[in-house]
Amino acid sequence: MNQPTPSSPQRLPARKRARLINERLKPLYPEFEGLNYANRFQLLIAVILSAQCTDARVNRVTPALFARFPTPADIATCDIHELERLIQSTGYYKTKAKNIRAACNEIVHRFGGEVPGTLEELVTLPGVGRKTANVVLGLGFDTPRITVDTHVGRLSRRLGLTRHRNPLKVEQALAAIVPQEEWLHFSNRLIMHGRKVCSARKPRCEQCPLADLCPKIGVTNTATSRHKRKTTTTPRPPESE
């Protein structure tokens, strides 16, 4: 297999390669196609529901959910079984319902009915981890954040921008090489590219605008991989988003 030469774009410093990657993805994904929401409260609930579930599925569930429970106070005092029924199709609905109701109770009693606007406060809410908090801060508060989901982590390693698997370390590595004003946009573009082109098991390298910049770390020959899956493995369910 041909190895990249020292002059290859694949061997550029990570900061410069990240800039080129961002420039190429920018016209392809000018706007983030994701969750639908009308305010910070709806954004928070939608992000919690999106765990192990596609954004499309969440967007089908939330209109009825928010019509029935339009405020944190409404969910904080709701019947848990009704909440479970409304979000059941998003998966893990019992845990999500418990966390959502508890988080809304905290928002009402600790934060005056408003979604808090700092990472330190957000992660104290049930069901809210660093990734969820970063999404809410980035989209809801226009606070520069890097969001590391499975797509961002996978593509960052595949593109040779980091070797880390720990989401916090991936976030820190990207923050060091991507301009702060592009943090949220860069994350969103990697997410969209991971969904549309650079999938986990069948990356479409022949169609990828980043092919010459990508060292393809962890990518094996697709024909060989398909043959092995047919002869030695059973099909796995589709990757969750």
Query: Contact at 8 Å (CB) between 141 and 123?
Result: no
Catalytic-role residue among 149, 169, 202, 216: 149
149 noted as active-site residue: yes
Query: Contact at 8 Å (CB) between 69 and 75?
Result: yes
Structure tokens at 8: 């290859």
DSSP readout, 36-66? --SSHHHHHHHHHHTTTS-HHHHHHHHHHHH
Catalytic-role residue among 26, 74, 98, 131: 131
Structure tokens at 2: 């041909």
212 noted as active-site residue: no
Q: How many CA atoms lie within 13 A of 165 on its CB side?
A: 1
Coil, strand, or helix at residue 113?
Answer: coil
Distance CA 103, CA 97 (A): 10
CB proximity list for 148: less than 8 A, separation 6 or greater:
131, 134, 156, 167, 168, 170, 171, 174, 187
So which residues are the catalytic ones?
131, 149
